[in-house]
Structure 1
Amino acid sequence: MTTPGAAPRSYPISIKGVVVRDGLVLLLKNEREEWELPGGRIEIGETPEECVAREITEETSWPVTTGPVLNSWMYHIHAVDKHVFIVTYGCYPDTDAEPVLSHEHKEVGLFPESAIADLNMPEGYKRSISAWFARLRAAESELVG
């Protein structure tokens, strides 16, 4: 709630993608030693879907097709006392190549769903990863059943 006459607070927006290939989710390690989803800030004139696809390609060299919105939340980065509004999308990989680490991160990794709970990662990302794995399983069972 904003106090009358006070300027509203604003926050940066970060669009992130959950990319699963062969049962493994693509993650990047940041300078705070946290694992995070690839993605970044939306640019003027860009849709969120275009943003997440561009950012994933820039950060990992993986082209993707953007799927549905998975989650959104306000994330407080304690190390820098900053709030960021996060939106996550499920994304489909359009490559069989290995991910390539960009200069923006310290490490790139592919992890099974079972490893996510123990990673140093914001809970919101963990929820988004879980939601995308669940949707992928549901879609797979529809195709089989």
Structure 2
Amino acid sequence: MTGANQQDRFRQKGWVGLRARLFHFYFVLRRPMTLGVRGLVYDKTRRAVFLIRHTYVPGWQLPGGGVETGETMLEALEREVQEEGNIALTAPPQLQSIHFNRQASPRDHVAFYLIEAFSQNAPKLPDHEIAESGFFPLDALPEATTPATLRRIAEVFDGVAPSPYW
């Protein structure tokens, strides 16, 4: 049985299927949730992490952004690190943790990935979204690195217990 046929076998049909879709639509309207991804791109040889500074929010932070409709978290991560850093994944990243981002909204969550296998064909040049970007040694992070970014770095490299909050 093919994957599509197998999925159809478990798809609800008729009134039951319609009712399930209506309930799903109701919950989307009643309890909308947003999902984002961030990646800690780590250069082992230089013990450095890749950070970006946006043109529209203060501070240095990890690359990432929202997961678009119809997009997987991994697809969103790959797209965001490419757009924000000219970085291509050369092996699957590791999902580190998921955090509630209560500062963004009461329904926002962020999937946090560790990216150790990547390539960068050229440094990211500033544009309308990214003011600056670059690799920074762990012991020389920019002064304006955001608290959430510092927490994620401490969780990965200093053994600090992961916070449930971004």
TM-score, normalised with respect to structure 1: 0.69
Structure ID, larger Rg: 2
Report whether the alignment pairs 1:108 with 2:133.
yes
Q: How well do the aligned residues superpose, as a CA RMSD in angstroms?
A: 2.8
More strand by share: 1
Report whether the alignment pairs 1:33 with 2:58.
yes
| Equivalent position amino acid for 2:105 in 1 | K
Secondary structure of the residue aligned to 1:63 is: strand
- For each residue in 1:98-117, what CA deviation from the matched residue of structure 2 results, as whole angstroms up to 9, or x when unmatched? 23334212221321212349
* Residue in structure 2 matched with residue 71 of structure 1 by the alignment: 97
TM-score, normalised with respect to structure 2: 0.62
Report whether the alignment pairs 1:9 with 2:31.
yes
* Residue in structure 2 matched with residue 138 of structure 1 by the alignment: none
Q: Structure 2: state its 5+ residue gaps.
A: 1-26, 160-166
Question: 1:72–1:88: 8 Å Cα contact kept in structure 2?
Answer: yes
Q: Pairwise mapping of residues 124-143 of structure 1 onto structure 2 (< 5 A)?
A: 125-133=149-157
Distance in 1 of aligned mates of 2:30 and 2:143: 37
Q: Structure 1: state its 5+ residue gaps.
A: 1-5, 136-145
Q: Which has the higher contact order (CA 8 A, sep 6+)?
A: 1
Percent identity of paired positions between Structure 1 and Structure 2: 26
| Equivalent position amino acid for 1:94 in 2 | S
The alignment covers a number of residue pairs equal to: 126
| Equivalent position amino acid for 2:39 in 1 | G
Secondary structure of the residue aligned to 1:15 is: strand
* Residue in structure 1 matched with residue 105 of structure 2 by the alignment: 82
C-alpha distance 132-50 of structure 1, shift in aligned 2 (>3 A): farther
Residue 134 of structure 1 and its aligned partner are, at CA, apart by 6.2
